[in-house]
Amino acid sequence: MAKQIVLKKLRQIWPDIRDVRDATEPVNISVEDQDRAKGRRKSSGECALARACVRTGIADAALIGAGTSYLKRGTVAIRYSTPESVAREVVSFDRHGDFAPGRDYHLAKMKPSQCFGAREGERRGREDGSRPQKRRAVVIHRTVRIRSQAL
Q: What is the pLDDT of residue 49?
A: 95
**Averaged pLDDT for residues 104-128:** 78
62-88 pLDDT, tens per residue?
A: 999 999 999 999 999 999 999 998 999
Please tell me the pTM assigned to this model.
0.80
In angstroms, the Cα distances linking 5 to 19, 22, 123, 143 are: 11, 14, 24, 24
Lowest-pLDDT range of 13-17, 55-59, 137-141, 144-148: 137-141
Say whether pLDDT at 130 is over 80. Answer: no
